Structure 1
Amino acid sequence: MSYVIGVDLGTSAVKTVLVNREGKVAFEASEAYPLYQPKAGYSEQNPEDWVEQTLVSLRKLLEVSGVHPSEIEGLSFSGQMHGLVLVDAEGKPLRNAILWNDTRTTAQCHRIEKVLDGKLLSIARNRALEGFTLPKILWVQENEPELLQQAALFLLPKDYVRYRLTGDYAMDYSDAAGTLLLDVAGKQWSTEIAEAFELPVSLCPRLVESFEEVGTLLPQIADQTGLAAATKVYAGGADNACGAIGAGILSEGQTMCSIGTSGVVLSYEERKDLDFEGKVHFFNHGEKDAFYIMGVTLAAGYSLSWFKDTFAADKSFDVLLQGIDAIPAGSNGLLFTPYIVGERTPHPDANIRGSFIGMDAGHKLEHFGRAVMEGITFSLRESIDILRNAGKTVNEVISIGGGAKNEAWLQMQADVFNATIVKLESEQGPAMGAAMLAAYGCGWFPSLQECAAAFIRPAKSYAPNPETVAAYDGLFALYQDVYGQTRSLNDRLEAYR
């Protein structure tokens, strides 16, 4: 039997999956690592923690599975995006990594927008947001200049781990697209952006395709994990790109909705000249010469978790959501906006905050629970509508993540999006996408599409109900008004937070 391994380097843990030629996950393992928040708005991790726990996870995967190392042909990676790892000439990290959810770089974002103006969107195709990598580099430039002077390269999280496993420096296009230093359409580092901030282009690693072989395991890594030193290693991709691959979003017209802590609407795209004016993200795909369009709701599943922890801490999610399918669409006139940590799409606004609108004495816990789910889904529909307004057809959406675990929520997505929602038989998310990159790289399939056809199987679909679609269309128009009506109020409330 032949296997490949997918390694998903997340924010809280690394997950490894062992996948056979039929696309079945034979075994999986996961190891957590700490998050450091030395100041408000700071979010950091020690890159060595990623390496150590990845090695532990790989070793456990091999021990539990009992699979002979020679049966494992290759491995690849998915990784949390945007995190800054600065390494010196010997490959040693110069400081803790600054993560995607670190918000210290507002001033640097303003600087980028002011210096580059319209060039930023024409080259990097994305607005300057605190999560991206270039603002983090500029923060180091301004606050820790001696470290930047010592830096030989900047890497992203998975690229540092892969370097430690292989000794090879590289970055794939899908992850590089989230740095704001890549010419996304031209697939090369932008000297214009780098030079605008007096950054040497030599700070950027070589660029590779996500499915490209970048080496084999170093002997000491093979010893520590039990894997064969000849195991082929492939570059891998950004977590969202790998999530798209793992959901089979690999051809025109395919769209997915992922509801985890944050929420993502992602659609495959081959046209590189589309202009969304920065309303959505436009990144390189893990598939060659392809892209994906992505809208983000910052607090999707997190809004539901917050609601449960705050108002129903003694209840499980299953108990909390019991009976919501008996509540009519619109929760009897109760609307929720999921802006509890700010918002990303279509409103890149760090100051906006959430609201319940329309509360009355007749509303019970189940009304509030349904309203929270509807508000999250309305926010994701705003991204769906941006795609449709750009001429994309969105008739079917693959739903993954926590939002795919509840039947009522799946039907709600069908009705709010007015599209058929498809739930997958087995969903491993970005880890499966990483395994598929390895399978394709190893030559198991002639294309990623054929790999997806063999690995990914639909389990059930949910068709929109015309009457409910009409009701939600009216409610969605009201939902869209709430942002504009509450923005100035939230700005005035800022002084009291």
Structure 2
Amino acid sequence: MSSYVLGCDLGTMGTKTALYSANGRVAAEAFQESKICYPRPSVVEQDPDDIFASAVATIRAVIEQSGVHPGQIAGIAFDGQMAGMINLDANWGVVTPYDSWLDTRCARYIPVLKMRESEIIASSGGAPSFNHGAKMLFWKNEHPEIYARIAKFTMLSSYVAGRMAGLKGEDAFIDRSYLGLSNFADTSNSCWNTDLVETFGLDPKKLPRIVDPWEIIGAVTPEMARLTGLAAGTPIAAGCGDATANILGAGIVEPGTLFDVAGTASVLSIVTDRFATDTRHKMLYMCPHAAPGLYFAMAYVNGGGLNLRWFRDQFGQVEKLISEADGENVYQRLGRMAEKAPPGAGKLLFLPHLGGRVCPNNATVRGAIMGLSWGHTKNHIFRAILEGIGYEYAYYLKACRDLMPEFRPKRIVGIGGGARSRIFKQIKADILGVPYMSLDREECGTLGAALVAGHAAGLFSDMAATAESFTRPTGEAVSPDPERHAFYQPLARAYVTMLESTQAVFDELAAIEDFVPSERAMAAE
């Protein structure tokens, strides 16, 4: 009897694969770090072959470690990065490197899309940003020779799944969980908006068919079986986006629940049972949930978690931190530094958009620290970085309440590295005024993908109920302190004022060309 399912998470920083039993227990798991290329400013790419190889390697490692017979694996599904783009040719080969969600080359086409912004938001569920619509227009207009070779635009998870199944370009698909970031979809009806597609001059034949996450798109080929250790013929489900997989794997299926993914991106989501679009703030993406009948409103800081790594690498004296850690990792040590600074970090405000603002999009915005005095220390600055994410979340929460006035959050559930930080959880709870809970499992993405695979294979008839039964809170929730919550509110308002009032400065900076020494100056050197 087939009683195991396999989920593979194709993340920004690496590929994680896990094998789960029918009761949600991990039989084995494996991870392989990703290679990210920054060939020039604004360009962020990954090699699709490397990503595929990491999926193959981790699947093989999991099967070998578990000792489970391949015939007992009922199905497999992949989840992946949501705002990036894979460009396929007619034979399922890649025409370009993976166009990452961190890549901002498409920025000039966002204002073009904004000419129909209200219609795009109402139809697809999200505003133009560094995502599918602008990326497709970039390839069409900047590289017409490449655009001509592209048979289909699709997602990273779709690419890996289709390669495992031996698909051709005409078989390309996108599951509906990605549609909120597409700009060209009629998301509530799971189809393409032909009027928008025609308005922006895209070839509709280059768009993939839209499927449910649990649709079986093919089966593991004999060649892939030899490479991975899976049984030939193992069903492959369409899969879903990584945020979607995390929400499902965390058991977040109750409308009104807040969900924090404190990872490479800082993502705040709320589950809802209706498709409602944020045409006022243009901040939230309304995405289909993996569970039928549900959606989630999502907003995120592009590389929010990278801000902590940036501070660590540039100002954290890493070697000293490691040598003094006494069993703590670097981020725990940095958290202890933040605890030494008072709430509000001495009225220091940090703008966390070092990679540009995504929700709503503004490519010229960058990071900033405001309120510095000679009395501030590294402790204050690092706490201000954590609080900056909290203030940004407070702005997202306001947009959620404006969109859904009936919304009364009872708790926020967190996963990712930031959800292990005591101080980070307390700061978010205090700023938002909502208890912060962690889960009894750190890995939710692979479980979400595995749940989709199990539903596709008939192992789990009700994904939502199964997901809820697999995950439990761990420990007591971090409760907000009423005094600190009240103290943070004017600072959260000041943060929004800083964000909105510095736009002219960022625009002016963006217009200044980078300094390039003249030939004469270079010769003199």
Shorter-chain TM-score range: over 0.9
Q: Does 1:462 align with 2:469?
A: no
Distance 1:149 1:478, change over 3 A: closer
The code of the aligned residue for 1:485 comes to S
1:337 Cα shift? 2.2
8 Å Cα contact 2:219-2:236 kept in structure 1:
yes
Residues 34 and 320 of structure 1, relative CA distance in 2, 3 Å threshold: closer
Answering whether residue 120 of structure 2 is matched by residue 105 of structure 1, we say: no
Partner of 2:399: 386
Question: Partners of 1:19 and 1:234 in 2: how far apart?
Answer: 16
Question: Mean Cα displacement is larger for which, 397-406 or 289-298?
Answer: 289-298
Please say if residues 123 and 186 of structure 2, whose CA atoms lie closer than 8 Å, have aligned partners that are also in contact: yes
For residue 304 of structure 1, the aligned residue among 291, 301, 308 is: 308
- Mapped to 2, the partners of 1:439 and 1:266 lie a distance apart of 25
Q: AA paired with 1:376? A: I
The residue type equivalent to 2:146 in the other structure is: L
Q: 1:14–1:53: 8 Å Cα contact kept in structure 2?
A: yes
Q: Is residue 250 of structure 1 aligned with residue 263 of structure 2? A: no
Compared CA separation, residues 422 and 138, structure 1 to 2 (3 A): same
Partners in 2 of 1:442 and 1:280 — Cα distance? 33
Moved over 6 A (4+): none
Distance in 2, matches of 1:295 and 1:353, equals 17
Moved more, 425-434 or 313-322: 313-322
Q: Which stretches in structure 2 are left out of the alignment for 5+ residues?
A: 322-329, 515-525
Q: Does 1:420 align with 2:435?
A: yes
- What is the Cα deviation at residue 432 of structure 1? 1.9
CA–CA distance in structure 2, aligned partners of residues 83 and 363 of structure 1: 39
Q: How many percent of aligned residue pairs carry the same amino acid?
A: 29
Q: Is the 8 A contact 2:214 2:238 kept in 1?
A: yes
Deviation at 1:487, TM superposition (A): 2.7
Deviation at 1:213, TM superposition (A): 2.1
Work out whether 1:29 is the aligned partner of 2:43. Answer: no
Q: After TM superposition, list the pairs within 5 Å mapping 1:176-215 onto structure 2.
A: 176-215=179-218
Q: How does 1:55-454 map to 2 (within 5 A)?
A: 55-114=56-115, 116-129=116-129, 131-168=130-167, 169=171, 170-277=173-280, 278-314=282-318, 315=321, 316-345=330-359, 347-390=360-403, 391=405, 392-454=407-469
Q: Look up the equivalent residue of 1:134 and give its one-letter code.
A: G
Distance verdict in 2 for CA 1:393–1:205, change over 3 Å: same
Structure 1 residue aligned with 2:520: none
TM-score, structure 2 length as denominator?
0.89
Tell me, what secondary structure is at the counterpart of 2:361? coil
Separation in structure 1 between the aligned mates of residue 52 and residue 84 of structure 2, nearest angstrom? 15
Cα distance between partner residues in 1 of 2:353 and 2:86: 30
**1:113 & 1:96 partners in 2: Cα distance?**
27
Q: 1: distance between equivalents of 2:131 and 2:300?
A: 14
Evaluate the alpha carbon distance shift between residue 58 and residue 382 of structure 1 in structure 2; reply closer, same or farther with a 3 A threshold.
same
Q: Which amino acid aligns with 1:413?
A: K
Name the SS of the counterpart of 2:480 in structure 1.
Answer: coil
CA distance in 1, matches of 2:376, 2:276: 48
Structure 1 residue 326 displacement after superposition: 4.5
Q: Mean Cα displacement is larger for which, 210-219 or 328-337?
A: 328-337
Alpha-carbon distance between aligned partners in 2 of 1:89 and 1:262, rounded to the nearest angstrom = 33
* Distance in 2 separating the partners of 1:150 and 1:492: 38
Q: 1:238 deviation in Å?
A: 0.8
Distance of 1:305 and 1:212 partners within structure 2: 38
Question: How far apart, in 1, do the equivalents of 2:165 and 2:256 lie?
Answer: 37
C-alpha distance in 1 between matches for 2:205 and 2:292:
24
Whether contact under 8 Å (2:162, 2:218) holds in the other structure is no
Name the Cα RMSD after superposition.
Answer: 2.1
TM-score of the pair, normalised by structure 1: 0.93
**Change in 2 beyond 3 A, CA 1:332/1:87:** closer
Match of 2:42 in 1: 41
1:93–1:388 Cα change, 3 Å: same
Provide the secondary structure at the position in 2 that maps to 1:75: strand
SS in 1 for 2:140: helix
Instruction: Give 1:352 shift.
Output: 2.3
Structure 2 Cα separation of the partners of residues 364 and 149 of structure 1? 54
Residues 129-162 of structure 1, C-alpha deviation per residue, up to 9 Å, x if partnerless?
A: 1x21222222222233233333332221111111
Aligned residues: 494
Secondary structure of 1:185's counterpart equals helix
Q: Matched residues in 1 for 2:302 and 2:7: separation?
A: 26
Contact 1:88–1:153 (Cα < 8 Å) also in 2: yes
Q: Counterpart of 2:122 in structure 1: which amino acid?
A: S
Following the alignment from structure 1 to structure 2, what is the Cα–Cα distance between the partners of residues 359 and 140?
Answer: 42
> Quick check: 2:278–2:399 contact (8 Å CA) kept in 1?
no
SS at 2:446 equivalent: helix
**For residues 324 and 373 of structure 1, what CA distance do their matches in structure 2 show?**
8
Distance in structure 1 (CA, Å) of the matches to 2:44 and 2:496: 31
Note closer, same or farther for the CA distance 1:335–1:7 as it changes in structure 2 (3 Å cut): same
C-alpha offsets along residues 258-316 of structure 1, whole Å, 9 cap, x if unaligned?
Answer: 11122111111222244444221122222224321111122422222222222113222
2-side partners of 1:91 and 1:262: how far apart? 29
Counterpart amino acid of residue 292 in structure 2: K
Task: Measure, in 2, the Cα distance between the counterparts of 1:296 and 1:11.
Answer: 15
Amino acid at match of 2:30: A
- The SS at the match of 1:444 is coil
Match of 1:52 in 2: 53
| Equivalent residues of 2:240, 2:290 under 8 A apart | yes
Distance 1:213 1:465 in 2: 48
Cα drift, residue 86 of structure 1? 2.5
Q: 1:28 to 1:151 in 2, by over 3 A?
A: same
Matches of 1:432 and 1:231, distance apart in 2:
18
CA contact (8 A) 1:18 1:25 kept: yes
5+ residue gaps in structure 1? Answer: none
| Residues 299/91 of structure 1: CA separation in 2 closer, same or farther (3 Å cut) | closer
Determine helix, strand or coil for the equivalent of 1:356: strand
Q: Give SS of 1:19's match.
A: strand
Q: Secondary structure of the equivalent of 1:253? A: coil
* Cα deviation 1:240-269 (Å, max 9, x = unaligned): 111111222223112201111221111112
Aligned with 1:264: secondary structure?
A: strand
Distance in 2 of aligned mates of 1:385 and 1:117:
21
Contact 2:126 2:277 in 1 (8 A): no
Q: How far has the Cα of 1:117 moved from its partner?
A: 4.8
Code of the residue aligned with 1:321 in structure 2: it is G
**1:117/1:8 CA distance change after superposition, 3 Å:** closer
* Letter of the 2:468 counterpart: A
